[in-house]
Amino acid sequence: MVTPPSLKGLQAFEAAARAGSFAAAAEELSVSAAAVSQLIRTVEEQMGRKLFHRVNRRVVLTEAGVEMLPRLTMAFQEIGSVSRELGGDAFRPRLVVSVPPSMAMGWLSQRLAGFVASHGAVDISLRGDDDPVPFDREMIDIRLTYGPHYREHPTEDIVQDAVYPVCARGLADMIRPDGLAGLPLIHTGWGPTGAFFPSWNNWFEAAGIEPGRAAQRGLSANSSRAALDLAISGLGVALAQGIYCAAALEDGRLVRPVARALELRRPYCLTIPERSARRDVVAAFRQWLIDECQRAVNSPALR
């Protein structure tokens, strides 16, 4: 294998050929003219071809030098461009984040500005996906999901949540001594993981209450986010995960008409494929997302 010429030597040749003298090249490269001359001589020896004719104190490009100059100039310009981009704002890491649709529609999208403010510029692709998700086909870096769906990838449990009856304050003022009886209920179709989420029947059973036909009546929504919006609008009492409803309880858009909560059967989990695990931006987002989830489920409004 032929040893490639010295990069420093090629840089010295390109600067001298472009500037027209060793002295000018030496000033540009912050070295001595003798160092430029030696670097170029080394390149000529490595290539086995003269690049300059030395005439008195002048240097004139040989045919080989004329052929090399424009190509080297273009190459060093490209190297400079890449260096500037990697060292400045033009380089932005990319992150593909997959979460359940309800989380993408409100909870996470409202918080992402906090991550960008603390981490810096990053290109984020936020995906609202039902399980299962195609990690490799969509190049997903991190997935937050309910339950451990992806044990073929490194997965960790991050928070244990519960569901809470929540409604608008005006509706809570109508509550009677017998609790939720008579109040309109909002039912949530939890999707493919529905078997693992509590229903109103489960809640009434845990509370030791016979709901009668009330547990089947009322509005229905096919996402946690939609059910929460219906409750905020005053249309009924929803069973909402703490991670979603904590902020609305804190700012008064929702209240808890009764105290009883019902713990979810599974934790929320984070899955990060091995190809993404060592990336700094993924590690930073992982810790930020865990902190946000834990802050939500530990909200004083849920105690």
Of 9-13, 41-45, 95-99, 209-213, which one has max mean pLDDT? 95-99
CA atoms within 13 A on the CB side of 201: 6
Q: What stretch of H or E contains 303?
A: none
Q: How do residues 244-267 score in pLDDT, each as one tens digit?
A: 999 999 999 999 999 999 999 999
Mean pLDDT, residues 29-34: 88
CA dihedral 250, 255, 257, 261 (to 10 degrees): -40
Average pLDDT of the chain to the nearest whole number: 86
Does residue 187 come out as left (phi exceeding 0), alpha (psi in the -120 to 50 range) or beta? beta
Mean pLDDT, residues 168-188: 80
Mean pLDDT, residues 192-207: 80
CA atoms of 40 and 104, how far apart (whole Å): 59
Q: What is the DSSP letter of 105?
A: I
pLDDT band for 214, please (50, 70, 90 cuts): low
Asked if 200 contacts 165 with a C-beta cutoff of 8 angstroms, the reply is no
Out of 31-35, 159-163, 207-211, 299-303, which region has the weakest mean confidence (pLDDT)?
207-211
- Amino acid 86: pLDDT: 58
Mean pLDDT, residues 152-174: 92
- Has residue 198 got a pLDDT over 90? no
Q: What stretch of H or E contains 57?
A: none
What lies within 8 Å, CB to CB, of 8 at 6+ separation is 39
- Has residue 1 got a pLDDT over 60? no
- Amino acid 3: pLDDT: 67
pLDDT: which is higher, 183 or 124 = 124
CA atoms of 29 and 144, how far apart (whole Å): 51
CA atoms within 13 A on the CB side of 295: 10
